[in-house]
């Protein structure tokens, strides 16, 4: 059977090549950039006054002058003025161009103003103080936003400042989330004693929304012919199908055989892991299908260990940063498969991140995940895991 690392590598090798599209800046939040954005001007574009106050010539100050005649006001949004007389000053406002002939700004807090003159109330003045020099932050032509960046608030502000009314981003994949199973009813229904409400597709929908992907929800009964017919349609309408249920060894687990008939090439089925052993993954030249085991904890693990990283790289994002934590207490897991242990993470005063095991009652105990922040990946070739030993963790939340 396949190792976790090999299964992950296979999914990543088959990531989608999604096209680029152009969207307005207002619609670009959360999208992934496909064309770099450069500075059209210097940052800042002129010597920018950084405080409200007066602007003087530093040479007047070094010559001993402390009182300056007010010669005028330079506001933000006005063309640059000039001061050409000694011992004079201009009132200047934050965001204004520094007037020609002056080089140093004194804050209003550090002067008294009366009778058209300003007198310094401080002893120490640095040349060029409170001036934000032209081009000190970035130069015209510098690359500001790079391909593969996710557009969050600061990126959008920078894009706006250089006049990007539109941005080129990765087109979002069309994703269908499909639950299968005769025991599953809609969330608005009252389940009969042998039924449960479906929950996995809602979990997946919320997870995908955190990547900016709006997936559609579907449900299909455990009937092989109906499954084939409906999956054929969904396959033509979508780039990615994510199924929940129907990939294990049960009598109603038709997903692998149906996928084969629909021409989806199986890349793997089953991984040496717990939970989530029955994960199925297949592709066509331009589509991908994940068949997630229906047990809710398996679904969560497979979603965060395989599906979300797949969507990230398909969108053109770098993989999420690798994270580690230390076991807060020893843990034993004997079977020779990778064990994903639900953990709650705490940040300790000494800087360590500790993982507190939440073993729960197995892969159907999804209420247990309410307290969990991550799965800790415990390697297959070990049985005993010591206190304070560090292992990789896979975050299952973006809301904490």
Structure tokens that stand for 369 in this block: 């995940």
Nearer to ligand AMP, 172 or 242 (CB): 242
Min CB(273)–ligand AMP separation in Å: 15
Rounded Cα distance, 270 and 2, in Å: 7
Assess 199 for contact with ligand AMP (CB under 6 A).
yes
Assess 181 for contact with Mg ion (CB under 5 A).
yes
The entry of Mg ion, ligand AMP, none near residue 201 (CB within 5 to 8 angstroms by kind) is ligand AMP
Listed ranges 93-101, 140-148, 195-203, 315-323: which one lies at the site for ligand AMP (CB under 6 A): 195-203
SS3 337: coil
Residues 265-324 that bind Mg ion (CB under 5 A): 294
Assess 183 for contact with ligand AMP (CB under 6 A).
yes
Assess 316 for contact with ligand AMP (CB under 6 A).
no
Nearer to Mg ion, 212 or 245 (CB): 245
Min CB(321)–ligand AMP separation in Å: 30
- Quick check: 394 and 375 in contact, CB under 8 A? yes
The entry of Mg ion, ligand AMP, none near residue 291 (CB within 5 to 8 angstroms by kind) is none
Min CB(181)–Mg ion separation in Å: 4
Assess 198 for contact with ligand AMP (CB under 6 A).
yes
For every residue of 69-137, DSSP letters joined together read EEEEEE-TTS---B--STTEEEEE-TTSBPPBT--EEEEGGGEEEETTEEEE--S---TTTTEE-TTSS
Exposed e or buried b per residue across 127-150, where buried means at least 16 C-beta atoms within 10 angstroms of its C-beta = eebbbbebbeebeeeeebbeeebb
Rounded Cα distance, 329 and 132, in Å: 53
3-state SS track over 6-49: HHHHHHHHCCCCCCEEEEEHHHCCCCEECCCEECCCCECCCCEE
Residue whose entry in the numeric block shows the structure tokens 């000053």: 89
Min CB(203)–ligand AMP separation in Å: 8
Residues 274-313 that bind ligand AMP (CB under 6 A): 293-296
Q: Shortest Cβ contact with ligand AMP: which residue?
A: 294
Min CB(226)–Mg ion separation in Å: 14
- Closest of 379, 377, 359, 378 to residue 369, by C-alpha: 359
Among residues 152, 163, 250, 362, which is the contact residue for ligand AMP, using CB under 6 A?
250
Among residues 238, 248, 273, 314, which is the contact residue for ligand AMP, using CB under 6 A?
248
Reply yes or no: is the peptide bond before residue 44 cis, omega within 30 of 0. yes
Min CB(338)–ligand AMP separation in Å: 19
295, 296, 301, 306: CA torsion to nearest 10? 80
Min CB(360)–Mg ion separation in Å: 21
Rounded Cα distance, 354 and 388, in Å: 8
- Closest of 296, 292, 242, 289 to residue 261, by C-alpha: 289
Q: Which residues contact 375 (CB under 8 A, 6 or more apart)?
A: 300, 301, 304, 305, 340, 341, 342, 343, 393, 394, 396
The entry of ligand AMP, Mg ion, none near residue 316 (CB within 5 to 8 angstroms by kind) is none
Listed ranges 8-16, 75-83, 147-155, 181-189: which one lies at the site for Mg ion (CB under 5 A): 181-189
Among residues 207, 245, 278, 291, which is the contact residue for Mg ion, using CB under 5 A?
245
Rounded Cα distance, 368 and 300, in Å: 12
- Closest of 248, 384, 314, 352 to residue 20, by C-alpha: 314
Among residues 196, 221, 320, 390, which is the contact residue for ligand AMP, using CB under 6 A?
196
The entry of ligand AMP, Mg ion, none near residue 283 (CB within 5 to 8 angstroms by kind) is none
Nearer to ligand AMP, 304 or 391 (CB): 304
Assess 244 for contact with ligand AMP (CB under 6 A).
yes
Among residues 201, 230, 273, 314, which is the contact residue for ligand AMP, using CB under 6 A?
201
List contacts with ligand AMP (CB under 6 A).
Answer: 179, 181, 183-184, 196, 198-201, 244-246, 248, 250, 293-296, 364
List contacts with Mg ion (CB under 5 A).
Answer: 181, 245-246, 294
């Amino acid at each position: 059977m396949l190792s976790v690392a090999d299964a992950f590598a296979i999914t990543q090798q088959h990531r989608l090549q999604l096209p680029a599209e152009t969207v307005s800046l207002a619609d670009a939040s959360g999208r992934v950039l496909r064309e770099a954005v450069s500075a059209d001007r210097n940052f800042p574009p002129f010597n920018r006054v950084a405080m409200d106050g007066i602007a003087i010539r530093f040479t007047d100050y070094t010559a001993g002058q402390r009182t300056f005649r007010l010669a005028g006001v330079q506001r933000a949004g006005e063309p640059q003025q000039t001061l050409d007389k000694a011992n004079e000053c201009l009132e200047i406002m934050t965001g204004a161009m520094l007037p020609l002939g002056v080089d140093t700004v004194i804050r209003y807090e550090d002067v008294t103003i009366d009778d058209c003159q300003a007198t310094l109330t401080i002893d120490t003045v640095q040349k060029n103080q409170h001036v934000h020099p032209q081009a000190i932050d970035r130069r015209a032509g510098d690359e500001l936003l790079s391909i593969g960046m996710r557009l969050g608030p600061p990126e959008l502000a920078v894009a706006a400042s250089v006049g990007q009314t539109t941005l080129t981003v990765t087109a979002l994949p069309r994703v269908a989330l499909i639950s299968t199973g005769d025991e599953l009813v809609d969330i608005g229904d009252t389940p009969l004693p042998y039924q449960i409400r479906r929950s996995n597709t809602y979990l997946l929908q919320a997870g995908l929304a955190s990547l900016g992907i709006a997936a559609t929800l579907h449900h299909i009964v455990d009937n092989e012919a109906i499954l084939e017919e409906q999956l054929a349609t969904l396959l033509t309408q979508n780039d990615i199908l994510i199924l929940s249920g129907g990939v294990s060894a049960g009598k109603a687990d038709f997903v692998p055989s149906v996928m084969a008939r629909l021409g989806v090439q199986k890349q793997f089925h089953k991984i040496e892991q717990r939970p989530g052993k029955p994960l199925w993954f297949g592709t066509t030249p331009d589509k991908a299908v994940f068949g997630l085991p229906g047990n809710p904890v398996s679904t969560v693990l497979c979603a965060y260990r395989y599906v979300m990283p797949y969507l990230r790289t398909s969108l053109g994002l770098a993989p999420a940063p690798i994270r580690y934590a230390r076991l807060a207490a020893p843990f034993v897991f004997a079977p020779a498969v990778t064990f994903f242990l639900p953990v709650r993470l705490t940040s300790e005063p000494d800087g360590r991140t500790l993982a507190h095991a939440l073993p729960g009652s197995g892969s159907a105990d999804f209420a247990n995940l309410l307290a969990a922040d991550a799965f800790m990946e415990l390697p297959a070739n070990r049985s005993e895991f010591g206190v304070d030993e560090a292992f990789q963790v896979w975050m299952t939340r973006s809301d904490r």
